[in-house]
Amino acid sequence: MSERLRLMAVHAHPDDESSKGAATMARYVDEGVDVLVATCTGGERGSVLNPRLQDDPNVLANLPDIRRREMDTAREILGVRQAWLGFVDSGLPEGDPLPPLPEGCFALVPLEEATAPLVRLVREFRPHVMTTYDENGGYPHPDHIKCHQVAAAAFDAAGDPERYPGLGEPWQPLKLYYNQTFSRARTLALHEGMLAEGMESPWGEMLERWKDREDRATTTHVPCADYFSVRDRALLAHATQVDPDGFWFACPLELQRRLWPTEDFELARSLVPVELPEDDLFAGVRERLA
């Protein structure tokens, strides 16, 4: 290989990188790939989801700083680099009628403006492959949807010398993927596997809600079972956001490795020839660089 492979994962909040594609990133880091996580917001409006910390006054008073420190720890565990794009968390408004988004938040920043910092970062880092969320955000959090829009726009704009002049030399990534980790098929496989082993599954109610849901097409299945433990350690580093006794960790790793040993992606765009399905985000890229 004449050039080191580079992967950029674009996420909405600190902790998203550890729950979506983390084992894949850890595997590629171990193989010598340069991996950079771009985090759009600081997660300032995230809820404290760990019951052990929900009433801690220090956590509640210093959540933005704590989330940055959690990100530092997760980054070190995964072995990746990480950059903040500097936007403010939009929160997840709930209610009927739905309340408006807070002024100045990421989801309300005009797309052209919100894309600029990522274009600069793409041109600096020069990734061959980018990953992010689909147009639904994976789930309809306003920051996840905006993250998709920004990542897709930057993928197109970073290589265009007419766009965003002054933000670095143009660079065109070769492939763009959407994370599709939380498919119904995977959840059902783990659910049925746990029941077959005589274990209680945490996914029964979720699967009932999803009974009419159709999975999006996954094109790329990256074997990364050896790195599931790294993924879990990185996720646990986000202590304010994750219940260590919650559903994330209910299924034993050895069962996960046997039942669903991959992380899955949807190839959205490719500027190199591909043959689907794939088992490598850099399929076609390696040949281009050889």
Q: Which residues are annotated as a binding site?
A: 13, 16, 144
Check residue 149 and give its pLDDT.
Answer: 98
Q: What is the per-residue pLDDT for 94?
A: 86
Q: Which of the four pLDDT bands, split at 50, 70 and 90, describes residue 93?
A: confident
pLDDT tens per residue across span 195-222: 999 999 999 999 999 988 899 999 999 9
- Region 36-51: mean pLDDT is 94
pLDDT at 1: 60
CATH topology for the 6-183+217-253+260-289 domain: Rossmann fold (3.40.50)
- The number of residues in the chain equals 290
- The residues that bridge with 154 in the sheet, in sequence order, are none
- Start-to-end CA distance of the chain, whole Å, equals 5
Cβ contact 258:223 at 8 Å: no
Q: Are 290 and 1 in contact (CB under 8 A)?
A: yes
* Binding-site annotation, residues for Zn(2+): 13, 16, 144
Mean pLDDT of the chain: 96
Reported in sequence order, the residue ranges of 158-232 that DSSP labels E, i.e. its strands, are 175-179, 220-223
Taking 90 as the threshold, does the pLDDT of residue 95 lie above it?
A: no
Give the pLDDT score at 286.
97
Percent of the chain with pLDDT over 70: 99
Query: Measured at the alpha carbon of residue 194, what is the angle toward residues 203 and 54, in degrees to the nearest 5?
Result: 45
148 pLDDT higher than 70: yes
Q: Which one, of 78, 28, 24, lies nearest residue 264 by Cα?
A: 24
Single-letter amino acid, residue 19: S
User: Three-class SS of residue 269?
Assistant: strand
- Asked if residues 288 and 174 have their Cβ atoms less than 8 Å apart, the reply is yes
| Mean pLDDT value across residues 50-58 | 91
- What's the CA gap between 133 and 212, in Å, rounded? 22
Q: Which residue has the tokens 């530092």?
A: 72
Query: Residue 227: is its pLDDT beyond 70?
Result: yes
Q: Is the pLDDT of residue 251 over 70?
A: yes
**Percent of the chain whose pLDDT exceeds 90:** 89
Report the pLDDT averaged over residues 142-160: 98
- CA 112, distance to chain mean position in Å, is 22
User: Is the pLDDT reported for residue 71 higher than 90?
Assistant: yes
